[in-house]
A and B are shown apart, each in its own frame.
Chain A
Amino acid sequence: EAEVAQSPRYKITEKSQAVAFWCDPISGHATLYWYRQILGQGPELLVQFQDESVVDDSQLPKDRFSAERLKGVDSTLKIQPAELGDSAMYLCASSTREKELTGELFFGEGSRLTVL
């Protein structure tokens, strides 16, 4: 069964350092999302792509976060510089346009970031 792949699974870094997360969506899924999930809370949308275009990045802290999906397939989320409050799980999800409309997103296992 196809899955959303994310790496790394775990990342520990010191504040002010740069970190990057990678996501490979399910083949054929045009929509890709990055969510941030703080422990004990629900996923919070950071950025949404349709193919290679950003369709929503209203909640992305653009002074330190950036995201790209250059060829409309895999995606990278970068944080520079990392702050203590960035410690969270970073979840990538993908979907087709049809399944989006019925709320069905397919999530990866996530990348857990700890900032010291």
Chain B
Amino acid sequence: GQSLEQPSEVTAVEGAIVQINCTYQTSGFYGLSWYQQHDGGAPTFLSYNALDGLEETGRFSSFLSRSDSYGYLLLQELQMKDSASYFCAVTGGFKTIFGAGTRLFVKA
């Protein structure tokens, strides 16, 4: 089977840095994706890691360690608009399975 674990909630202050962790157990692992979802909105793709290491996209970075079955999403210079749910998802070939999500609260 496949399972993903991520914290249910994280709170941080505007301008700070926050890290959202994700551990996974899966067969046929290809890569780890991250999605953002604002309340009432559609999930939107943020990043994808297939190889070990850090991928940077503006204020967001994503990291993967395949040997540890672990990844994280790093958000820098937090803004109020970053308050949302963040999902990690494992891709195994042509199938994408989502974690339960981490609710990020950004405080002023």
**A contacts, CB < 8 Å to B:** 4, 31, 33, 35, 40-45, 48, 50, 55-56, 91, 93, 97, 100-110
Residues A103 and B48 in contact, CB atoms below 8 Å apart: yes
Given contacts A43-B43, A43-B87, A107-B42, contact A100 B96 (CB under 8 A): yes
Q: How far is the CA of A55 from the CA of B96 in the complex (A)?
A: 13
What number of residue pairs across chains A and B have CB atoms under 8 A from each other? Answer: 66
Q: Let me know if B18 is at the binding interface, CB within 8 A.
A: no
Residues A91 and B43 in contact, CB atoms below 8 Å apart: yes
- Determine the interface band of chain B, counting residues with CB < 8 A from chain A: 20 to 34
Question: What are 9 A-B contacts defined by CB distance under 8 Å?
Answer: A40-B100, A42-B4, A48-B94, A101-B91, A101-B94, A102-B48, A103-B30, A104-B33, A107-B44
Residues B100 and A104 in contact, CB atoms below 8 Å apart: no
Residues B42 and A43 in contact, CB atoms below 8 Å apart: no
Residues B42 and A55 in contact, CB atoms below 8 Å apart: no
CB distance from B4 to the nearest CB of A (A): 8
- List chain B residues, Cβ under 8 A from A4: 42
Q: How far is the CA of A56 from the CA of B42 in the complex (A)?
A: 22
CB distance from B89 to the nearest CB of A (A): 6
Residues A45 and B41 in contact, CB atoms below 8 Å apart: no
Q: Let me know if B81 is at the binding interface, CB within 8 A.
A: no
Q: How far is the CA of A31 from the CA of B100 in the complex (A)?
A: 23
CB distance from B106 to the nearest CB of A (A): 19
Q: How far is the CA of A48 from the CA of B94 in the complex (A)?
A: 9
- List chain B residues, Cβ under 8 A from A97: 94
- List chain A residues, Cβ under 8 A from B43: 43, 91, 93, 105, 107
Q: Let me know if B98 is at the binding interface, CB within 8 A.
A: yes
Q: How far is the CA of A50 from the CA of B94 in the complex (A)?
A: 10
